[in-house]
Chain A
Amino acid sequence: MLCLECPYCGVAAEETDLHPGGEAHLKRFGPESSDDDFTGYLFHRENPKGVHFERWRHVNGCGKWFHAARCTNTLEVFGTYSAQTTEPPKDLLDTIRAKRPGFTWRDIA
């Protein structure tokens, strides 16, 4: 059972206090978008063995959504950060690059 620190209330939240929200930083495509763009947005997801960026909600807690960067293989958590961003913070990426040289995720490297 994972334990993630909510960046809003600071609580180290048990997985049972959290609601998973799938892959982070999806760009929404609306009515004017192409079939390919929309299909990608709605259905295509990363499935890495390694570094992953996810959305979680502290649902049985402060109720806030947040982002988590973690390793799906070793369960290491690199950090949690605000939901109000379209990309991971730079210092977090630097931390991950130092710990996992050469990692890639979508167009992040």
Chain B
Amino acid sequence: MSTRVQTQGRLINRDRPVSFKFNGTLLNGYLGDTLASALLANDQMLMGRSFKYHRPRGVVASGSEEPNALVGLGEGDRFEPNQRATTTELFHGLTATSQNHWPSLNYDVGIVNNTLSRFLSAGFYYKMFIHPRPFWKHIYEPFIRHSAGLGKAPDSESRDADRYEHFYAFTDVLVIGGGVAGLQSALTAARAGAKVLLLEQTAHLGGRAPVDGGTIDGMDPDAWVAKACEELDALPNAQIRTRTMGAGVYDHGYVLGYERLTDHAPEASGPRHRLWRIRAAQIITATGAIERPLSFAGNDIPGVMLASAMRDYLVNFGVSPGDRTVVVTNNDDAYRTAIALVQAGLKVPAILDARPNGGGALMDDAKALGIRVETGAAAVKVKGAKRVHSVCRGVQAGDGEVLEEIFCDAVAMSGGWSPVVHLWSHCGGKLFWDEGQAAFRPDHARAPTSHDGAPFVITAGSADGEMHLNAVLQNAANAGKTAASAVGAAKGDAAAPSGDAPDEAPLVPVWMMPQGAPRKLRTKSWLDYQNDVKVSDVQLAAQEGFESVEHAKRYTTLGMATDQGKLSNINGLATLSHALNEDIPQVGTTTFRPPYTPISFGAIAGEARGEIFQPIRKTPMHDWHDSNGAHWEPVGHWRRPYAYPQPGETVEDAVQREVLATRNSLGLLDASTLGKIIVKGPDAGRFLDMLYTNMMSTLKPGRCRYGLMCTENGFLSDDGVVARIDEDTFLCHTTTGGAESVHAHMEEWLQTEWWDWKVWTVNATEQYAQIAVVGPNARKLLEKLGGMDVSQDALTFMGWADGALAGLSVRVHRISFSGELSFEIAVAANLGRALWDKLVEAGQQWNITPYGTEALHILRAEKGFIMIGDETDGTVIPQDLGLDWAISKKKTDYIGKRAQQRSHMVDPKRWKLVGLETLDGSTLKDGAHAIADASNENGQRNTQGRVTSTYRSPTLNKGIAMGLVLNGPDRMGEVIELTAGGDDTVKAKIVNPVFFDPEGAKQNV
């Protein structure tokens, strides 16, 4: 059984017991435990079920590479699935639940998949679920969706109760990893005078060295680490952050760090996670190495663990994973585990060393302790179900014959070490295959390069492929020195401490154990624990032609689980290359992508949530709208009233009321959000002639003109009224959503094409409030306020005038987007509310009715006015909309003119704008299509047009619509059929798009 031993446990505090819950059972651990170590101490070896076969799984690693021990953490709004027990620090009251089983962890019905596993081989889904076709939608997909996914998604109604933040940092040298290599690199760089930031993903500095032993400058590694930290703490130019992972390395020295502030102490105040957004001139990745499993049958049975993990649990947490542990290895390092176990009073019945000649000094040490060592040996298979029962010993060079069954309750395995090259690779660092170490190592000649073309990532210590303590320290000091001199820091002591540890004999690569394992064993030899990929699956993929590593990965799902193949990738690659009869470097690796381990969505979002997700733009009249029942509509970042439903009134009813009140008497619209761009300078007229399809340079001061703006592709992009203020000055109105983009469009052409033209532009949208006073009584209201002459003679249609109304300085534009007598009044933003209040008060005698955006839309549609974004969608040119009258024939050029001459643009078969009137008076559905005869080659009904705007018109008391129809303008009176999907069709007549007052009598008064 796994249990707490009475000695060791350098990271736990035995004076601070902590209680926690696992699957509802109250258990005890110590402060300093991880959830995994505390579970092991309670003999809870079984921690989860595998994804595909629901096999019982125990913890296999001790760090962030753990594939099996994934749990659901927390409850309610704080519930999170797929959290690694190995990186979860224990705290009082922690609640964890195991995943992927029903009805319980111990008894899981899904284990039936395990029995069926020979039918569930690689590519099973592709092969099985393709025929018969109709089964996909109704049977296969629902079934797969039901069984897919590890863990349970949080309740969609729950809201994250915690706070998160972003933090910006700039440093000369960023060191990622706080093991002895990272500390030495940081020391060397900081002593030289560089500004240094060191990130360590765990709560502890020192990494593996204190567990692995040896001495540094004659000191115990723990003592050396304490001294190094002390020195770094004292240096003003060095900073250390623990519980902060280097998540990703990006272009030009940009790095994301992920700090977990309160995961271990949920009662603490402050943000839970912090996303560090770091710019570093030089990055040292001292991220260590990860031990590889060995591929023997039954290597996933609970109790089989990485040798280093077992040592970690014993030394760091005082936990023994078993009473009798067999060690299986191809290298010297695993001997440390055997020695540590025996020294703690536990039994090691045998070390099975696959190397024919065994190991070096560490083997001698083990033998001296009386441990039996079998060389050239293999674990043919591990027996057991929910717990290891025994190991069958055979010969590594053989084909699986069992020579002996060794009874034990744990197995420590080691297949060698892979440097953690993820961060080196994120931004393009390349690797080379080191035959001797059987590992990919960073290729210094092909480092990621920064803005100056020079390398900006340096690997240090075992991340660089150095495995001996002394070599690690020398390498790390060199990395620190290189980084410091790259940032111009060169003073101080660059000497490295000396590390003393036993020399190790070389490993012998073992990719399958035993070497000639028959199929029966290979189908139980796991490569990827989390996604249930076995040696036989990768071999099958190769056999079926998935020769590229990227294809084989996706076909088998090797390395695609939440651990992203940290344990499985190299073993999988080696298996694939053997199956393909190629060398490992030729097969290559899959792409390393950030983040290194999953980071929370909360950290990514930071402060941007709820009310401050994005800024809301409010007009000066916002509060009035809010207190008068506005039903809000987001328009870009603005909020605009959609309508003002009164008590007892639906939104739809309010819209209809607002339209009628405006047509019959007086309406009021807050038009402040319309873009207002001032274009000024001697060449302003010439510039606007290029920007708009119409001629703007001939506009007289005091007059307004409606203009269309196109992109160089010819497509209509924005529209609005341009007022000429004086000879050199124009005021260009844009759509609400277009203000910023139109201004940017102007600046782009001015700065990059016509930079010698004397024109200046200013986006003055927020400097003015704008109010449209609309309806037959509009003039009477303005006259009642008094202050300026707004008579028909003084202020003619499409004219503007500066003056005063009710004592406020205003500019009145006589323009109309409704077909009614209409004045758009601009006033300084700070006076917008005052003017609005005066208009509302004075307008009472005409039942003045504020209206929202939907009434605005209906009013314009009744008049056949187009709306950017309804009638246009980026594929429509002005000619499609019958706007030829607004396109100058005299101008030799404007933006979009040449494109509008292209063959497709002058094709007579382009759909054109018409009005549509249903025969039964009903309102067409948004997005309805006009159907044509016959079907296309995909069996879909042909179409001959589509609806772009559709409303119920209260003025005409029927449905009205605009749409683009093939040869539409030539088919007036013809009836076509439309559908919005399904079999229902509606008949509509093609009519003039101007439904109301086609003579314009109402606005010319």
CB distance from A64 to the nearest CB of B (A): 7
CB within 8 Å for A3 and B451 given contacts A83-B752, A84-B751: yes
CB distance from B24 to the nearest CB of A (A): 46
Is B610 an interface residue, CB under 8 A from the partner? no
CB within 8 Å for A59 and B898 given contacts A1-B254, A83-B755: no
Interface string of B866-895 (1 = CB under 8 A from A): 000000000000000000000000001100
* Interface residues of A, Cβ cutoff 8 Å to B: 1-3, 14-15, 19, 21, 28-33, 35, 38, 42, 55, 57, 59, 63-65, 71, 74-77, 83-84, 99
Is B901 an interface residue, CB under 8 A from the partner? yes
Q: Which residues of B contact A55 (CB under 8 A)?
A: 752
Contact present for B897 and A75 (CB under 8 Å): no
Give complex CA distance A28, B713 in Å.
12
Residue of B nearest to A5 (CB): B451
CB distance from A82 to the nearest CB of B (A): 9
Residue of B nearest to A74 (CB): B449
Contact present for A31 and B901 (CB under 8 Å): yes
CB within 8 Å for A30 and B893 given contacts A75-B451, A99-B453: yes
Contact present for B747 and A3 (CB under 8 Å): no
Contact present for A75 and B450 (CB under 8 Å): yes
Contact present for B899 and A42 (CB under 8 Å): yes
Q: Which residues of B contact A14 (CB under 8 A)?
A: 254, 279
Contact present for B449 and A75 (CB under 8 Å): yes
Interface string of B898-936 (1 = CB under 8 A from A): 110110000000000000000000000000000000000
Q: Which residues of B contact A84 (CB under 8 A)?
A: 751-752, 755
Residue of B nearest to A19 (CB): B744
Is B252 an interface residue, CB under 8 A from the partner? yes
Residue B748 contacts which of A2, A28, A57 (CB distance < 8 angstroms)? A57
Give complex CA distance A99, B752 in Å.
28
A-B contact pairs, 8 of them (CB 8 A): A1-B254, A3-B451, A21-B752, A30-B897, A31-B892, A74-B428, A74-B449, A76-B452
Give complex CA distance A21, B744 in Å.
12
Which of A31, A35, A63, A77 has the most chain B CB within a 10 Å cutoff? A31
Seed contacts A3-B251, A55-B752; 15 additional CB < 8 Å A-B pairs: A1-B252, A3-B253, A28-B753, A30-B892, A31-B893, A35-B902, A38-B899, A57-B748, A65-B748, A74-B428, A74-B449, A75-B428, A75-B451, A76-B452, A84-B755
In the complex, how many residue pairs between chain A and chain B have their CB atoms under 8 Å apart?
A: 74
Is B224 an interface residue, CB under 8 A from the partner? no
CB within 8 Å for A31 and B897 given contacts A3-B451, A76-B451: yes
Chain B: residues with Cβ within 8 Å of the partner, total of 28
CB within 8 Å for A21 and B254 given contacts A76-B449, A99-B453: no
Residue B898 contacts which of A19, A21, A33, A64 (CB distance < 8 angstroms)? A33
Q: Which residues of B contact A21 (CB under 8 A)?
A: 748, 752
Contact present for B451 and A42 (CB under 8 Å): no
CB distance from A84 to the nearest CB of B (A): 4
Is B250 an interface residue, CB under 8 A from the partner? yes
List residues of B (717-764) whose CB comes within 8 Å of A's CBs: 744, 747-748, 751-753, 755
CB distance from B445 to the nearest CB of A (A): 13
Q: Which residues of B contact A71 (CB under 8 A)?
A: 453
Is B712 an interface residue, CB under 8 A from the partner? yes
Interface string of B443-460 (1 = CB under 8 A from A): 000000111110000000
Contact present for B252 and A2 (CB under 8 Å): yes
Q: Which residues of B contact A15 (CB under 8 A)?
A: 251
List residues of B (271-307) whose CB comes within 8 Å of A's CBs: 279
Q: Which residues of B contact A83 (CB under 8 A)?
A: 751-752, 755
List residues of B (244-264) whose CB comes within 8 Å of A's CBs: 250-254
Give complex CA distance A5, B326 in Å.
60
Residue of A nearest to B454 (CB): A76
List residues of B (952-975) whose CB comes within 8 Å of A's CBs: none
CB distance from B251 to the nearest CB of A (A): 5
Give complex CA distance A64, B452 in Å.
23
Give complex CA distance A38, B449 in Å.
38
Interface string of B811-845 (1 = CB under 8 A from A): 00000000000000000000000000000000000
Q: Which residues of B contact A65 (CB under 8 A)?
A: 747-748, 751-752
Q: Which residues of A contact B251 (CB under 8 A)?
A: 1-3, 15, 75
CB distance from B690 to the nearest CB of A (A): 10
Contact present for B747 and A30 (CB under 8 Å): no
CB distance from B712 to the nearest CB of A (A): 7
Contact present for B751 and A75 (CB under 8 Å): no
Residue A31 contacts which of B254, B428, B453, B898 (CB distance < 8 angstroms)? B898
CB distance from A98 to the nearest CB of B (A): 11
Contact present for A3 and B893 (CB under 8 Å): no
Residue of B nearest to A82 (CB): B755
List residues of B (679-717) whose CB comes within 8 Å of A's CBs: 712-713
List residues of B (425-466) whose CB comes within 8 Å of A's CBs: 428, 449-453
Residue of A nearest to B899 (CB): A42
Q: Which residues of B contact A28 (CB under 8 A)?
A: 753
Contact present for A3 and B898 (CB under 8 Å): no
Q: Which residues of A contact B279 (CB under 8 A)?
A: 3, 14
Residue of A nearest to B712 (CB): A42
Residue of B nearest to A63 (CB): B747
Which of A33, A64, A65, A75 has the most chain B CB within a 10 Å cutoff? A75
Q: Which residues of A contact B452 (CB under 8 A)?
A: 76-77
Give 3 closest A-B pairs by Cβ, nearest first.
A76-B453, A1-B254, A84-B755
CB distance from A15 to the nearest CB of B (A): 8
List residues of B (530-566) whose CB comes within 8 Å of A's CBs: none
Residue B744 contacts which of A1, A30, A59 (CB distance < 8 angstroms)? A59
Q: Which residues of A contact B898 (CB under 8 A)?
A: 29-31, 33, 38
Q: Which residues of B contact A19 (CB under 8 A)?
A: 744
Residue of B nearest to A4 (CB): B451
Q: Which residues of A contact B450 (CB under 8 A)?
A: 75-76
